[in-house]
Amino acid sequence: MTKADVVNEISKNTGIEKITVQKTVEAFMESIKDSLVKEKNVYLRGFGSFIVKKRAQKTARNISKNTTIIIPEHFIPSFKPAKSFVSKVKSHVKK
């Protein structure tokens, strides 16, 4: 499902114009990005948490040059779904 699909679905279900829904969805995503950049996690009860994770420094290999490189510690955004979200997906998705 793409962002356009989400906008269409919300617009269809609520009766709100697509352009308004699109601006709202984009503002929502932008506010989450801005919060994570400021190292503030976002908690959405019943849905999940957008968090900033710290990756430790590690040693890796550049196989084309056969050299060792050091990847410094860095931070990445991550999503952790709520337990109710996970259980709903588990009970409804079939292989």
Boundaries of every domain in the chain: 1-40, 41-95
The yes-or-no verdict on residue 95 having pLDDT over 80 is no
The CATH number of 41-95, from 2.60.120.430, 4.10.520.10, 2.40.50.100, 3.30.750.24, is 4.10.520.10
**DSSP SS3 for 8:** helix
3-state secondary structure of 22: helix
Residue 38 confidence (pLDDT) above 90: yes
- How would residue 80 be classed by pLDDT, with cut points 50, 70 and 90? very high
Q: How confident is the model at residue 25 (pLDDT cuts 50, 70, 90)?
A: very high
Residue 93 pLDDT grade (very low, low, confident, very high; cuts 50, 70, 90): confident
Could you identify the residue written with the tokens 């084309």?
64
DSSP 37-66: HTT--EEETTTEEEEEEEEPPEEEEETTTT
Per the document, the length of the chain is: 95
pLDDT confidence of residue 94: 79
